[in-house]
Amino acid sequence: MAITELRFGGYGGQGVIMAGMIVGKAAVIFDGKNSTLTQTFGPEARGSHCSCQVIVSDKRILYPYVTRPNILVTMSQDACNLFQPDLREDGMLFFEESLVKPLKLSAGIRQYSIPATNMAEELGRRLVTNIVMVGFFTAITGIVGAESARQAISSLVPKNTVELNLKAFTSGYEHGQKQLGR
């Protein structure tokens, strides 16, 4: 595997940073790869712009910042508008379909949408929208293993929410598998 550059974007309070942490921890601790994570967010705790950059590689990572992402995961229109122009010509765009309408895409960009918010609400808690998205992302990309992602989720979320978060992951993962025809 070559170096894969990922960017997750949305608003504070959507769990964007947590999504990146899950992918990074799954890669490093449970899949034996290398990963870096950097994050940015506005001064407000909720509602301001926030994003994180994750790099995953089988080899050492010499530069920890994303320059041109292979994959963009957007959970807000502002994040899509800001980051989509940087996506590689052969990249992948993941988006929350009820909140994001992608800009005009280059022919080589593959796009994947999911009603992650609605799926989280069906599980009884909108707060797990990010975990639904992580499940979807994991199923489509295979950058981290499903079991590795589950272990990372179990180790990062509050103990009293592990079961709900794992259900959210499975919901997103199964949606991704269906999109792939598996």
Least confident of 9-13, 31-35, 53-57, 163-167: 9-13
Give pLDDT tens digits for 40-81: 876 555 667 889 999 999 999 999 999 999 999 999 999 999
User: Residue 7: which region, alpha, beta or left (left: phi > 0; alpha: psi -120 to 50)?
Assistant: beta
Alpha helices in the chain (DSSP H): 16-25, 77-83, 116-122, 129-141, 146-156, 162-179
Q: What pLDDT sits at residue 181?
A: 87
- Percent of the chain having pLDDT more than 70? 96
Q: Distance between alpha carbon 79 and the CA centroid of its chain, in Å?
A: 13
Residue 40's pLDDT is what? Answer: 81
pLDDT (0 to 100) of residue 81: 94
Mean pLDDT of 139-156: 98
Give pTM, 2 decimals: 0.93
Among the listed residues 58, 27, 24, the one whose alpha carbon sits nearest the alpha carbon of residue 39: 24
Q: For residues 133 and 8, what is the distance between their CA atoms, to the nearest angstrom?
A: 10
> In the predicted model, is pLDDT for residue 150 greater than 80?
yes
Query: What is the number of alpha carbons within 13 Å of residue 173 lying toward its C-beta?
Result: 17
Q: Which pLDDT score is estimated for 182?
A: 79
**Is 156 a residue whose pLDDT tops 90?**
yes
- Do 28 and 34 form a contact (C-beta atoms < 8 A)? yes
- Residue 20: strand, helix, or coil: helix
Tell me the CB-side half-sphere exposure of residue 33, using CA atoms within 13 A: 21
Distance CA 44, CA 53 (A): 20
Q: Where are the domains of the chain?
A: 4-179
**∠ CA(89), CA(81), CA(131), 5° rounding?**
85
For 80, the token pair is 């899509």
User: Where residue 176 falls among pLDDT bands split at 50, 70, 90?
Assistant: very high
109 φ, ψ (degrees, to nearest 5): -85, 125
Cα 14 to chain centroid distance, Å, stands at 11
CATH class for the domain made up of 4-179: alpha beta
Residues forming a β-bridge with 76 = none
CA–CA separation, 180 and 182 (whole Å) = 6
DSSP percent split of the chain into helix, strand, coil, nearest 5: 45, 20, 35
Q: What is the mean pLDDT of residues 8-24?
A: 94
